[in-house]
Amino acid sequence: MQIDTFGLERWFAEYEHEAEIMLAESGVRSLSTDRFDTDPGELGYVIPTNGDPALRARIADRYDREADEVLCTCGTQEANFLAALSVLQEPDDHAIVVTPTYQALHAVPDAVGEVTRVPLEPPTWKLDVDAVADAIRPETRLIVLNNPNNPTGRYHPLETVEALYDLAADADAYLLCDEVYRLLAEDPLPPVASLGPRGLSTASLSKSYGLAGLRFGWLVGDEDLLETAWNWKDYTTISPSIFGQHVAEQALEREDEILAENRELVTDHRARVREFLEKHALEWYDPVGVNGFVTVPEGFETGKEFCRTVLEEGVVLAPGEFFGHPDRFRIGFGLPTAELEDGLDRIGTVLER
């Protein structure tokens, strides 16, 4: 098994630790620990290792599922990893991945099976369901979607998602949807795992809640498939963090309060970035979530060239090359307001030279 180098993560590893402002961050600003009880007692394993049954039942309720159809994981990243390994078990198993998207969503399936990418096209990044249908083979086991999409912010409507689910079900495949930004939408769609037995949903408390450091997420789906995923988990992290689970229980109890705060911040920040882009004649698709995919300014040939220039001002952006679009860059606007404003001012300095 071989897997591609995770380009965006290596970019962060090279530049993030020295950056003054991280405008490539893809989640809402982190909440302070003083909002929670941070003493879980003894720091042992979570028992059972697939997550506390009461917490799994609580998560399952939002998907119209049972507790045994929820596997608690170390973030959405592990949930997606386990899902891919559990579905794609033979070398000729085939996955269809809607791109551009977070690299792990196509790199992991590509490492264990075969992948066909179905591209979203700018400027609206609308998904062509017929293109997905045309890509289905007898060996297709998985269709992968990220909704709302990272990096474009496109939120595919319910009828599109339901059409993908029907395609997956008809092909005896699964529809896996990374829904980590779903609850930042003003009117969130039903999660894919609630659509039927061939739906798999992954999410976490990272991006929408501002609790990335908890490393707490989940995979929801068919019980038999989750047994396979749990078996894989025995070889990865064994159990989720007991500290993460302890705070996660509190965060879900205060979910309405936390999400209301974060949606208000995101709405305000989106407007600030929109105004900045209009001022500088840059374009994006008005996003849902906390990421926008922006055209590279005139005078710069590629996203990397522009982002390296912006690094000179102490600001990290994400080059579009890591999403297959070198004519764009990703900007995240979920960070604290003062940092966002400072970062935009510094980018403005580059654009006005």
CATH assignment at residue 57: 3.40.640.10
Domain match, 137 and 83 both: yes
Confidence of residue 17 (pLDDT cuts 50, 70, 90): confident
pTM of the model: 0.97
Claim to verify: residue 161 and residue 55 sit in the same structural domain: yes
The pLDDT score that the predictor gives to residue 136 is 98
Q: Are residues 265 and 238 in the same domain?
A: no
Confidence of residue 140 (pLDDT cuts 50, 70, 90): very high
Give me the pLDDT at residue 335, please: 96
Q: Are residues 78 and 20 in the same domain?
A: no
Does 35 fall in a domain?
no
Residue 131 clears pLDDT 90, i.e. is over it? yes
**Is the pLDDT reported for residue 22 higher than 90?**
yes
pLDDT at 203 over 90: yes
Task: Identify the domain boundary among 211, 230, 253.
Answer: 253
Domain shared by 123 and 270, yes or no: no
**Number of domains making up the chain:** 2
Specify whether 63 is located in the same domain as 179.
yes
Average pLDDT, the chain: 97
**pLDDT (tens digit per residue) in 170-202:** 999 999 999 999 999 999 999 999 999 999 999
Give the per-residue pLDDT at 1.
80
User: What's residue 18's pLDDT?
Assistant: 82
Burial label, 170 (beta-carbon count in 10 A; 0-12, 13-18, 19+): exposed
Instruction: Tell me the average pLDDT across 252-273.
Output: 98
Give the range among 17-21, 39-43, 152-156, 229-233 with minimum mean pLDDT. Answer: 17-21
User: Is residue 17 in some structural domain?
Assistant: yes
Does residue 292 sit in the same domain as residue 340? yes
* One domain, residues 283 and 313: yes
- Asked, for residue 38, whether it belongs to a domain, the answer is no
Residues 74 and 147 in one domain: yes
pLDDT > 70 in the chain, percent = 100
- Per-residue pLDDT tens digits for 37-50: 999 999 999 999 99
Q: Is residue 288 part of a domain?
A: yes
Mean pLDDT, rounded, for 229-241:
97
Would you say residue 37 lies in a domain? no
Instruction: Report yes or no on 212 lying in a domain.
Output: yes
Domain end marker among 253, 274, 307: 253
Q: pLDDT band for 19, please (50, 70, 90 cuts).
A: confident
- Write the pLDDT tens digit of every residue in 44-76: 999 999 999 999 999 999 999 999 999 999 999
Residue 334 is assigned to a structural domain of this protein: yes
- Say yes or no: 230 and 297 in one domain: no
- The answer to whether residues 263 and 326 belong to one domain is yes
Considering the domain architecture, whether residues 235 and 330 belong to the same structural domain is answered as: no
What pLDDT, on a 0 to 100 scale, did the predictor assign at position 70? 98
The CATH number of the domain holding residue 12 is 3.90.1150.10
Is 2 domain-assigned?
A: no
Q: Which of 253, 282, 317 is the last residue of a domain?
A: 253
Mean pLDDT, range 8-19, rounded to an integer: 90
pLDDT the model gives residue 16: 84
Q: Provide the residue range defining the domain that includes 308.
A: 7-28+254-352
